Amino acid sequence: MIELPQRSRFERGEDLVVMKFGGTSVEDSDAIRRLIEIVRSRLHAQPVVVVSALARITDQLQEAGNAAAGGQLGSALETVRALYVRHEQLAAELASNEPQVKLGRELQAEFGNLESLVHDVAMCRQLNPPAQDRLLGFGECLSSKLVNAALREAGVEAAHIDARSCIVTDPRHGQAAPVWKVTNERLQQIVGPLLRMGQVPVMGGFIAATPEGVPTTLGRGGSDFSAAIVGAALQASRVEIWTDVDGIMTTDPKLCPDAKVIRKMSFEEAAELAHFGAKVLHPSTLAPAMRENIPVYVLNSWNPAGPGTEIVAQADTGSMVSAITAKREVAAVEIESPHGVSSELLRAIYAVFDRHSCPVDIMATSIGRVSLLVGSTAALPRIAADLEGVVNVRWENHKSLVCLVGEDIRRQPELASRIFAAVSDMDVRVPCQGASDRSISFLVEESRVEESVQRLHRLFFSRQEPAADWGGNSSAYCQAG
């Protein structure tokens, strides 16, 4: 009788878990040792590991790039030097013997490339978007190599993958979007065989490349999105986002110490929260998970036994309001058109915002006027100049968008009156309602945002509130890396 070769777990379609570790969960050797134990606890479920850069590295790379572009090459190289020392020290702590030598050589080569990029930037006196993507991507190239070596040193059969060879995007530097078909094929072709051999693939989040191989990034905080992209391509049974808080919370615990962890929420609610300023998840993360119906868990790498937050297709928290977020420092833009607002005009306005990479949050139109919210005023002068002669663009700074999210929030008419009664003494503006059933939002002066979030949190989540009102299982919002 011919003995058939045994099929691997991957081929048998068994559990597969994508585990993404944020910056603070890989920040030093203690964090990486915790990561190793967490990965070990999932070895039965075919883990694929996605890591962010070590905490603060992406910001420091950006600083080095800005310094070089501003003519301060010395200070830029000093920053690079400090990054090198930090990674080198970690390598020495986490690997030994031959693998340490090999890792040391790899780090040296990466830092050689980083230094020459910084020299180039200093020479052209500008950090253009493609150069910026190359620069910021070093963080994840380095961290993924470190974590891979640390896992191997600990006896886990890890295999490093260059994310830029499998996540393929359009060329929108700084905010690239995946080209799904090619990305899915590459991930299956590159990660699949490793899983078949029982290995643990390790890759950097955030980084990708165009079909021609030009490095891109998925936007700040984009490693969460990378994990969801990998999960969707491999039909994972779950995606785990390992961070430094216990889960998604009812609001930012820094504002309200009694904020609670939300045990379970729907994809839509979590997407809405991410869109409206909760930093725990990159806003694009949930779309691929939703499409493939893959549950996403937000977990604390300091407290791996904790239940975290489970995000699934349907979740009835039983509460009217699940969470409250605040998006800080937004600008309210008013565009006046003397000739009315036509669809061509809207298209033209959108095209100009898009060309200046200025994402628009909320939009409302009325006769002769378009109102928008944007997260940064940086591009507005250039946008106003481009639209000059067509429309008149004005904006107000120092606003915050407070947003309440809940599965049925808009179907309970009395809720809106309770919300606005709680802030009736503040100068509140309601930019636009109606686009979503799951949120109610309004603008306040930046100086009043904390107070308004605290009042609303007290209103909907204080212990005095009858349990049925907040469901007893609502929870957090989070910052975290």
Give the footprint of Mg ion on residues 182-221 (CB under 5 A). 221
We find the least distance from the C-beta atom of residue 272 to Mg ion, in angstroms, to be 17
453 is written with which tokens? 């979030």
Residue 431 touches which member of ligand ASP, Mg ion, none, C-beta under 5-8 Å by kind? none
Q: How far is the CB of 468 from ligand ASP (least distance, A)?
A: 38
Distance CA 151, CA 130 (A): 32
Nearer to Mg ion, 217 or 319 (CB): 217
In this chain, which stretch among 15-23, 164-172, 189-197, 423-431 interacts with Mg ion, using CB under 5 A?
A: 15-23
SS3 25: helix
Which residue, 20 or 160, has its beta carbon nearer to Mg ion? 20
Q: Which of 9, 11, 17 is nearest to 41 (CA)?
A: 17
Kindly tell me which of 23 and 471 has the beta carbon lying closer to ligand ASP: 23
Residue 220 interacts, among Mg ion, ligand ASP, none and using kind-specific CB cut-offs from 5 to 8 Å, with: ligand ASP
**Alpha carbons 422 and 126: distance in angstroms, whole number:** 48
Which residue, 24 or 210, is less far from ligand ASP as judged by CB?
Answer: 24
Helix, strand, coil share of the chain (percent; to 5): 45, 20, 35
User: Is 76 buried (19+), middle (13-18) or exposed (0-12) by CB count in 10 A?
Assistant: buried
Could you tell me the smallest distance in angstroms from the CB atom of residue 190 to ligand ASP? 21
Nearer to ligand ASP, 52 or 325 (CB): 52
Distance CA 145, CA 22 (A): 15
Beta-strand pair 296-300/264-266: unpaired
* Burial letters 144-169, b for 16+ CB under 10 A, else e: bbbbbbbbbbbebebbbbebbebbbb
Find the shortest distance in angstroms from Cβ 90 to ligand ASP.
16
Least gap, CB of 281 to Mg ion (angstroms): 7
**Smallest distance from ligand ASP to CB 279, Å:** 10
> Does position 137 bind Mg ion by CB under 5 A?
no
Q: Is 437 helix (H, G, I), strand (E, B) or coil?
A: coil
CB of 30 to Mg ion, least distance (A): 20
Q: How near is the Cβ of 24 to ligand ASP at its closest, in Å?
A: 10
Q: Which does 205 bind (CB under 5 to 8 A by kind): ligand ASP, Mg ion, none?
A: ligand ASP
Helix 380-387 with 343-355: angle, nearest 10 deg:
140
Q: Tell me whether residue 65 or residue 221 sits nearer to ligand ASP (CB atom).
A: 221
Chain residues in the site for ligand ASP (CB under 6 A): 22-23, 52-53, 58, 139, 205-206, 220-223
Element (H, E) at 323: strand 323-336
For β-strands 200-204 and 207-209, DSSP reports them as: unpaired
Residue written as tokens 């493609």?
Answer: 130
CB of 25 to ligand ASP, least distance (A): 10
CA distance 402 to 446: 10
CA 169, 170, 173, 174 torsion: positive or negative?
A: negative
- Return left, alpha or beta for 207; rule: phi > 0 is left, psi -120 to 50 is alpha, else beta: beta
State the nearest-atom distance from the C-beta of 60 to ligand ASP, in Å.
Answer: 10
Stretch 18-37: interaction string toward Mg ion, x if CB under 5 A: ----x---------------
Nearest residue to Mg ion, using CB? 221
Size of the site for Mg ion (CB under 5 A): 2
- The listed partner (Mg ion, ligand ASP, none) that binds 9, CB under 5 to 8 Å by sort, is none
Question: In the complex with Mg ion, which residue's Cβ is closer, 298 or 453?
Answer: 298
Q: Which is nearer to ligand ASP, 241 or 370 (CB)?
A: 241
Helix (H) or strand (E) holding 451: helix 449-461
Based on CB atoms, which residue is closest to ligand ASP, 22 or 471? 22
Give least dist CB 225 to ligand ASP, A: 8
244 neighbors 25 (Cβ within 8 angstroms): yes
Which listed option, Mg ion, ligand ASP, none, makes contact with residue 118 (CB within 5 to 8 Å by class)? Answer: none
Residue listed under structure tokens 């904390």: 450
Q: Which amino acid is at 284?
A: S
288 binds, among Mg ion, ligand ASP, none (CB under 5 to 8 A by kind): none
C-beta of 161 vs 333, nearer to ligand ASP:
161
Upper half-sphere CA count for residue 39 (Cβ side, 13 Å): 31
Stretch that binds Mg ion, among 16-24, 102-110, 350-358, 385-393 (CB under 5 A): 16-24
Q: Which residue's CB is nearer to ligand ASP, number 50 or number 294?
A: 50
Burial label, 480 (beta-carbon count in 10 A; 0-12, 13-18, 19+)? buried
Residues contributing to the site for Mg ion (CB under 5 A): 22, 221
